Amino acid sequence: MSVSAAVAAASTSRTLVLARRRSPLASRVAATSRGRLFPSGSHPLAVSPAARAPAMATDGAAAAAAGSKKKKEVLIFDAEEDLAVSLAKYTAELSAKLAAERGAFTVVLSGGSLIKNIRKLAEPPYLDSVDWSKWHVFWVDERVVPKDHEDSNYKLALDGFLSKVPIPTGQVYAINDALSAEGAADDYETCLKQLVKNGVIAMSQSTGFPRFDVMLLGMGPDGHIASLFPGHPLVNENQKWVTYIKDSPKPPPERITFTFPVINSSAYVAMVVTGAGKAGAVQKALSDKQTSSDLLPVEMAVLQDGEFTWFTDKPAVSIPHLLPPLITRRLPFAMSVSAAVAAASTSRTLVLARRRSPLASRVAATSRGRLFPSGSHPLAVSPAARAPAMATDGAAAAAAGSKKKKEVLIFDAEEDLAVSLAKYTAELSAKLAAERGAFTVVLSGGSLIKNIRKLAEPPYLDSVDWSKWHVFWVDERVVPKDHEDSNYKLALDGFLSKVPIPTGQVYAINDALSAEGAADDYETCLKQLVKNGVIAMSQSTGFPRFDVMLLGMGPDGHIASLFPGHPLVNENQKWVTYIKDSPKPPPERITFTFPVINSSAYVAMVVTGAGKAGAVQKALSDKQTSSDLLPVEMAVLQDGEFTWFTDKPAVSMLQNK
């Protein structure tokens, strides 16, 4: 029987034949009635799906009332070691199944002894066989303390589990410990909504709340789960995904927590409870005698459309004459082999376009209309001579960096440009993914997408480690994502649909928001990814440092949605801002600001066609005054490499001088 078949059989309260094999590992029960344990499927309250209450559980008490007859499977183990082995197998099998189905595996952890109980996942065979690149890790609750504090659930998981398995850093979602409890809860919910929008987290069709693949939870002696405590008003929260508590009866007092509608929308929950100190709560939770007036929080955990399994030891169920003959479930382990391309990315050496080639004429800058070989321009300076000050806006950046070298590649044909741009990007991907574990790429719209098409063809389609890519937009039009003006749609149709970048690593804007709201939401998303280590932070500017921006330029010299003479070119505080009066339709857009653009590690400015020759001439001239700067002239990297990819028509005014 496959994992999916076993799950289906369990969810419809049928007896699992494979579970009937005798084993010393575990006793398996589905529920309790009058203090007796019943084999799976035989409990008098086990009901068919058709008989289950269809209504959405709006809070803990409502969920318990609606789902009081829903079956919960209980596994009882002789020893904690046996429990840990079984829990690892359970989790690994779900990982293989759901990652294959969805392309991602969302795991929610609690704190306490749970982390010790999942330790076997960090050992063979699971360490090598689980496809960790698909894991996305969250916390059902967290204490509002610094991440390195001894009370932090993040630190507990990092020390005991996360540091021992190769889950990508950017797929571990810790709270923002710089915020208040209320702010941290709001920030975490915003992050979850972004990940739902990106397809990383599924959405429950029956509840309208996020549907995590599996929650691995513990329970306190008082029956609390997450930071939802007996008798506390938060157990009745039915609107928010994440909320906060400032008066926790268990220290520390300030925490954030998932709400019951989120917990009860999960696909799978493993409730891991060990020790005699919790036997009273276990007895009450597994009894069929429940009244809404005295429900424990653990009794309010009733899945709307999922499978709930208890992993317990004998002390936790140490109520007299409760242990029947020992039986266990045996499911085949579905091994998932992770892609081997990750190993290849660490062995490649970056050799940027230093080799002479008939494809391109290489220049570093222009002076009085003459082209200079790379490095020989009279204004090219060493890094030590570069202005160290932070560029606070476009004009300041241009003034501070007017003597910074920009490399220019001029191609005979657009096809040659596309080939070289693909090689440039692929080499950066190999280098930076190996160094950082992630590769952050910022795209623009327009003809840029056509110019990167070669990345979606051999040899790059097969050799690039796409699992490391995280894709952003330097600007976006505030239109639906399927609108013809959408930069996302342009990139999806022309590039993203042709390469296997994980869906959750493509960060489109929230097109349901206003321009201002979409800009704020996108900046919040970026800050979360900086916190998680996906996006680097520039030490010299204090703004995010993207690995590469692949940008285009308009005939008027605008880049992103930063237009000549518009006040936004001077924005020096925000990472992402908005415009409602774009001189180029559509009028409403969001855009990265110059401090973000100018903090990049690499920028490729891709400009083709005679229609842009005037702006190219001005941008590459050494005669600049701050009064008439084009936005493209304000793109001056603080500590990075800027390369122009152009064709002969685009530099025709330079060559004709």
Predicted local confidence at residue 287, as pLDDT: 80
Mean pLDDT over 273-294 rounds to 83
Averaged pLDDT, 79-87: 94
Q: What is the pLDDT of residues 618-654, one digit of tens each?
A: 998 876 666 689 999 999 998 999 999 999 999 998 8
Mean pLDDT of the chain: 79
**Could you tell me which of 583, 565, 567, 571 has the C-alpha nearest to residue 628?**
565
Dihedrals phi, psi of 304, to nearest 5 degrees: -70, -40
Asked whether residue 115 carries a pLDDT value surpassing 50, the answer given is: yes
Domain 73-317: which CATH class?
alpha beta
Average of per-residue pLDDT across 6-25: 30
What's the pLDDT score for residue 72? 77
256 pLDDT exceeds 90? yes
Cβ burial of 117 (10 Å; 0-12, 13-18, 19+) is buried
The rounded distance, in Å, linking the Cα atoms of 265 and 58 is 10
Cβ atoms of 612 and 415 closer than 8 Å: no
Check whether 6 has a pLDDT greater than 60.
no
**Sequence-ordered list of residues with C-beta below 8 angstroms from that of 457, at least 6 positions apart, any chain:** 422
Least confident range of 75-84, 281-290, 552-561, 566-575: 281-290
pLDDT of residue 14: 25
- Whole-angstrom Cα distance, residue 173 to residue 108? 10
- The torsion of the CA quartet 482, 488, 492, 494, rounded to 10 degrees, works out to 110
Element containing residue 216 per DSSP (H, E): strand 214-217
Looking at residue 588, its pLDDT comes to: 96
Q: Tokens in use for 638? A: 């603080």
SS (H, E, C) 13-56: CCCCHHHHCECCCEEEECEEECCEEECCCCCCCCCCHHHCCCCC
pLDDT value at 412 more than 70: yes
Core vs surface per residue 272-304: b (16+ CB within 10 A) or e? bbbeeebbebbbbbbeeebeeeebbbbbbbbbb
In this predicted structure, what is the pLDDT of residue 61?
61
Counts for the chain of helices (H) and strands (E), in that order: 19, 28
Q: What is the mean pLDDT of residues 244-257?
A: 94
Q: What is the pLDDT of residues 521-544, one digit of tens each?
A: 999 999 999 988 999 999 999 999
Which pLDDT value is given to residue 655?
54
> Quick one: which of 651, 647, 554, 559 has its CA closest to 598?
559
**In this predicted structure, what is the pLDDT of residue 339?**
26
Could you tell me which residue, 314 or 397, shows the higher pLDDT?
314
Dist. CA 630–CA 359, nearest whole Å: 29
pLDDT of residue 551 exceeding 90, the answer is yes
Residue 474, pLDDT above cutoff 50: yes
Residue 329: closest CA among 570, 80, 27, 57: 27
As annotated, the residues of the chain forming the CATH 3.40.50.1360 domain(s) are 73-317, 407-651
The whole-number pLDDT of residue 108 equals: 98
Architecture of the CATH domain 407-651: 3-Layer(aba) Sandwich (3.40)
pLDDT at 45 (0 to 100): 24
User: 45 Cβ partners below 8 Å, 6+ apart?
Assistant: 31, 33, 68, 69, 71, 288
Region 164-171: mean pLDDT is 94
Among 26-35, 96-105, 275-284, the range scoring the smallest mean pLDDT is: 26-35
Q: In this structure, are residues 13 and 46 in contact, taking their beta carbons and an 8 Å threshold?
A: yes
Q: 74 has which bridge partners?
A: 29, 310
Between the alpha carbon of residue 387 and those of residues 215, 397, 404, 543, the distances in Å are: 51, 10, 9, 17
pTM over cut 0.85: no
Name the residue among 502, 524, 423, 481 with its Cα closest to residue 192: 524
Quote the pLDDT of residue 319. 59
In this predicted structure, the answer to whether residue 66 has a pLDDT above a threshold of 60 is no
Q: What's the mean pLDDT in 333-345? A: 24
Predicted local distance difference test score (pLDDT) of residue 403: 44
CA distance 409 to 446: 20
Q: What per-residue confidence (pLDDT) applies to 647?
A: 94
pLDDT at 11: 35
Q: Is 80 exceeded by the pLDDT of residue 369?
A: no
Q: What is the pLDDT of residues 18-41, one digit of tens each?
A: 222 223 334 433 333 323 333 333
Per-residue pLDDT, 621: 81
Q: State the pLDDT at residue 393.
A: 61
Distance (Å, whole) CA 142 – CA 175: 8
pLDDT digits (tens, 9 = 90+) for 53-63: 333 445 666 66
The candidate with the shortest Cα–Cα distance to 400, out of 654, 143, 624, 641, is 624
**The pLDDT of residue 183:** 94
DSSP letters, 361-412, are EEES-EETTEE--TT-STT---GGGS--S---SHHHHHHHTTT---EEEEES
pLDDT in tens, 295-333: 999 999 999 899 999 999 999 998 543 433 333 332 222
In 3D, which of 187, 189, 188, 195 has the Cα closest to residue 171?
195
The listed range with the strongest mean pLDDT (10-19, 54-63, 94-103) is 94-103
Q: 């804007």: which residue's tokens?
A: 509
Rounded to whole angstroms, the Cα distance separating 283 from 68 reads 15
39, two tokens: 């084999």
